[in-house]
C-alpha cells in the first residue's frame, strides 16, 4: 500500500505537465477544429529560448516569463504563416501542415542549439521531501509544477466564464458565423487563441525540461501522452484535458513502478484505443458523436 501511494504521488507532477500540454491542444481544437501537432515543437523551441535566457540572466523567473512571451509569439507566427494560408476549408491539410511545422521547428532547433541533449538547471529542490520519518517521492518542484498548473487552469476558467473576451472566444469556437454577425472580430479572437495555447504549451515545456533533458526531439513522448489525453477527454473540454491528464500521469507512474517504464506509452495507447472503441466522442465532450 505504501508503494502504491508512492507511485501515485510520484505521478502527480508529470500528470500536471501532460495536462497542460493537452490543454494547449484543446484550446486550438476548440476554436479551429485542428489538432496542432506542432504544439510540442513550439514548446521545445520556447524551452530552448528559456534555457538561453536562464543562462544569460541566471533567473528562472525571467526564463519563465520569456517562455510565456515566446510561446505566444510563436503561436501567432505558426497561425499566420501556416494555418491561415492552408486552412480555407481544408482541415486535413491544416493538420498535416502542423506536422510540417513540427519537423521544421525540430530541424531549426538542432541548428540553432547544436550539441544534442542539454540539461535544464533545477530551479527548485527536486529531491523527495522528508516528512514523518521518511522520504516521500514528491518534491518542492512537484508542488511548484502543480501550483502553476492550478493557477493557469483557474485563470483560464475565469477568462472563459467571466470576461467578454472569453465569451467571444467560446462563441467564435461554437459558431463563427453567429459570432461575426454579433460583431465579434473572429479572426482576431482566433489569433489570441493561438497565442494563448502557445503560452500554455511553453509553460508545459519549461516545467518538464528540468526533470527530463532538452533536445529537439525530447518532447515527442509528451505529444503522444497529451494527444491521448486530449482525445480521451473529448478534445473540446478543458476539464477533460486536466482531469484525464492528471489521471494519465498516475497511470504512467503506476505502470512504470510495478512493471517497466518502457511499458507506459504502450498502456497510454491501449487506453486511447479502448476509449475510441467504447466512447469515441470522448468522456467530457459536448458533442454526442465524432466519427473516427
Task: Closer to other proteins by CB, 84 or 140: give it.
Answer: 84
Helical ranges in 79-211 per DSSP H: 84-86, 91-112, 140-162, 164-174, 176-181, 186-208
Kindly state the smallest distance separating residue 174's Cβ from other proteins, in Å: 5
* Dist. CA 14–CA 268, nearest whole Å: 14
Pick between residue 167 and residue 250 the one whose CB is nearest to other proteins. 167
Shortest approach of other proteins to residue 109 CB, angstroms?
38
C-beta closer to other proteins: residue 124 or 174: 174
Residue with Cβ nearer other proteins (89 or 164): 164
- 133 sits in the region (left: phi over 0; alpha: psi -120 to 50; else beta) called left
Of the pair 6, 236, the CB lying nearest other proteins is at 236
Contact present, 98 and 38 (Cβ < 8 Å): yes
Least distance in Å: CB of 210 to other proteins? Answer: 39
Question: Residue 61, class by beta-carbon neighbours within 10 Å (0-12 exposed, 13-18 middle, 19+ buried)?
Answer: exposed
Cα separations in angstroms, 247 against 3, 57, 269, 271: 17, 36, 14, 11
Q: Least distance (Å) from other proteins to the CB of residue 281?
A: 14
In whole angstroms, the minimum distance from the beta carbon of 267 to other proteins comes to: 33
When the beta carbons of 55 and 175 are compared against other proteins, the nearer one is 175
Nearest approach, Cβ of residue 181 and other proteins (Å):
5
The binding site for other proteins (CB under 8 A) comprises: 164, 167-168, 170-171, 174-175, 177-186, 286
Smallest separation, CB 186 to other proteins (Å): 7
Comparison of 73 and 167: residue with beta carbon closer to other proteins: 167
- Three-class DSSP category at 27: helix
CA distance 16 to 226: 11
| Cβ burial, residue 291 (10 Å; 0-12/13-18/19+) | exposed
Identify which of residues 2 and 164 has a Cβ nearer to other proteins in the complex. 164
Going by C-alpha positions, the residue among 263, 237, 232 that lies closest to residue 248 is 232
Contacts of 57 (CB under 8 A, 6+ apart): 63
How is residue 236 annotated by DSSP?
Answer: S
Q: In whole angstroms, give the CA distance from residue 222 to residue 265.
A: 10
| Shortest CB 172 distance to other proteins, Å | 10
Amino acid at each position: 500500500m505504501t508503494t502504491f501511494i508512492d507511485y501515485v504521488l510520484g505521478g502527480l507532477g508529470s500528470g500536471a505537465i501532460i495536462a497542460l500540454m493537452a490543454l494547449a491542444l484543446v484550446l486550438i481544437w476548440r476554436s479551429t477544429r485542428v489538432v496542432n501537432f506542432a504544439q510540442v515543437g513550439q514548446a521545445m523551441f520556447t524551452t530552448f529560448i528559456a534555457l538561453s535566457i536562464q543562462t544569460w540572466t541566471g533567473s528562472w523567473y525571467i526564463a519563465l516569463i520569456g517562455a510565456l512571451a515566446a510561446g505566444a509569439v510563436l503561436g501567432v507566427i505558426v497561425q499566420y504563416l501556416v494555418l491561415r494560408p492552408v486552412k480555407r476549408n481544408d482541415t486535413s491539410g491544416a493538420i498535416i501542415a502542423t506536422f510540417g511545422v513540427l519537423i521544421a521547428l525540430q530541424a531549426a532547433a538542432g541548428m540553432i542549439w547544436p550539441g544534442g541533449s542539454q540539461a535544464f538547471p533545477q530551479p527548485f529542490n527536486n529531491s523527495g521531501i522528508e516528512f514523518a520519518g521518511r522520504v516521500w517521492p514528491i518534491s518542492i518542484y512537484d508542488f511548484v509544477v502543480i501550483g502553476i498548473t492550478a493557477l493557469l487552469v483557474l485563470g483560464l476558467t475565469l477568462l472563459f466564464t467571466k470576461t467578454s473576451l472569453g465569451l467571444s472566444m467560446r462563441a467564435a469556437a461554437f459558431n463563427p458565423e453567429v459570432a461575426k454577425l454579433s460583431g465579434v472580430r473572429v479572426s482576431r479572437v482566433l489569433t489570441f487563441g493561438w497565442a494563448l495555447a502557445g503560452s500554455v504549451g511553453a509553460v508545459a515545456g519549461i516545467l518538464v525540461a528540468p526533470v527530463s533533458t532538452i533536445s529537439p526531439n525530447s518532447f515527442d513522448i509528451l505529444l503522444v501522452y497529451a494527444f491521448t489525453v486530449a482525445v480521451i477527454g473529448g478534445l473540446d473540454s478543458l476539464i477533460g484535458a486536466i482531469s484525464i491528464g492528471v489521471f494519465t500521469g498516475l497511470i504512467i507512474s503506476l505502470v512504470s513502478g510495478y512493471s517497466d517504464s518502457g511499458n507506459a506509452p504502450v498502456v497510454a495507447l491501449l487506453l486511447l484505443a479502448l476509449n475510441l472503441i467504447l466512447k469515441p466522442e470522448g468522456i467530457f465532450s459536448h458533442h454526442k458523436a465524432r466519427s473516427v
